[in-house]
Amino acid sequence: MSTAVSKEKLIAVIGATGLQGGGVVRALEAGRHFKVRALTRNPGKHRVVADEVVEADLDRPETLKAAFAGAHGVFLVTNFWEEGTDERKQATAAVRAAKDAGVKHFIWSTLPNVEAISGGKFHVPHFTGKAKIDPIVKEAGFLHHTFVIAPMYYQTLVGALAPQKQADGSLGWALPLDPAVRCIHMGEISELGNIVAGAFAHPDEAGNGEYLPLVGDFVSFNEIVDILNRQGHHFTVRQIPTKEYAALFPGAVEVAETFGYFQAHTYLGSDSYDRVARANKIAGGQPSKLSTWARVNMPVEAP
Ligand SMILES: NC(=O)c1ccc[n+]([C@@H]2O[C@H](COP(=O)([O-])OP(=O)(O)OC[C@H]3O[C@@H](n4cnc5c(N)ncnc54)[C@H](OP(=O)(O)O)[C@@H]3O)[C@@H](O)[C@H]2O)c1
């Protein structure tokens, strides 16, 4: 692919102190095609390695003028899980400010529209809410715009979805999901940055409303357990009724809905072979497999 870009162009990155935006900053810095402006609500608090670190708060749209001033491109991710976040309001403010600032290429980290895919059967607001922002980005009329799709992070296996002690004494998972069904698109989330950096560098191939998912592995939960156990773990997984799971912790109802959707339609909701292939081409390589990530990030503890 030809690279018709210059280091004079500036990319402003929302979420630069987080997992997605942090990966974007690192990939852009490594690519050396663009100047990078990392955006955060607390520029004094975070150490981010970027050409510039500037304040931006999506809940205070007046901060976005300076944050996007002079930017060629903007990467936007919103954080559904932060209390009080209104993703639609935040994204609308960001799109408007980017248009006012003359931004040429806008990249939005979206997710599939579960409501549309499942015909209203599953209610997964952290997916559908993002999908409903896509038309706002599309209709804003940027010279270029791109949608990137984050998979289920491998990192969740050491975070929100870390293995738990089970009733039989084993360590593992009890989930409202048939573990034999291959339905989970996963990936090392910082590698989303390679797709984003590639899209900014190649707008002719990736800046016309393309959907570019990051997928390092497509697995069932049994396969996740097999991959980890081949590295020396002894994890277990079993299916439990959705009702039982939903009573386990606050927010479990939403998680159960999400798993129900995965099982019925897969994480990405459709056959995404072509989109994944295009994303890998734009990123310039294959993303990491779960086994590679796990060897480093889920080491087997000495007995
Ligand atoms: N976990 C998964 O498997 C998964 C899968 C797909 C999609 N997602 C989505 O990923 C999103 C979270 O992204 P992440 O994992 O990169 O989050 P993260 O690591 O928790 O970081 C959140 C970032 O958002 C920034 N932020 C939050 N509120 C802001 C505001 N009002 N104005 C400006 N910046 C703000 C924070 O910046 P400062 O604090 O520095 O201001 C921080 O950089 C969620 O919406 C979730 O639905 C997650």
Q: For residue 225, how far is its CA from the centre of ligand 1 (angstroms)? A: 27
Counting ligand 1 atoms within 8 A of each CB, the residue from 17, 55, 59, 79 with the most, and so the one to mutate, is: 79
Instruction: State residue 8's pLDDT score.
Output: 87
Provide the strand spans (E) within 156-298.
164-165, 171-175, 184-187, 208-213, 217-219, 236-239
With bands split at pLDDT 50, 70 and 90, how would you rate the model's confidence at 3? very low
Mean pLDDT across 177-196:
98
Q: Quick one: which of 94, 44, 216 has its CA closest to 54? A: 44
Q: What whole-number percentage of the chain has pLDDT above 90?
A: 93
The confidence score (pLDDT) of residue 153 equals: 98
pLDDT at 7: 67
- How buried is residue 253: exposed, middle or buried, by Cβ count under 10 Å (0-12/13-18/19+)? middle
pTM passes above 0.85: yes
pLDDT at 129 over 70: yes
| 54 has pLDDT over 60 | yes
Q: Give the CA radius of gyration of the chain.
A: 20
Nearest atom, ligand 1, residue 16 CA:
43
Q: Higher-confidence residue: 248 or 24?
A: 24
Q: How far is the CA of 96 from the centre of ligand 1 (A)?
A: 20
Distance in Å, CA 167 to ligand 1 centroid? 34
The protein residue with its alpha carbon nearest to ligand 1, atom 5, reads 152
Residue closest to 37 by CA, chosen among 49, 20, 23: 49
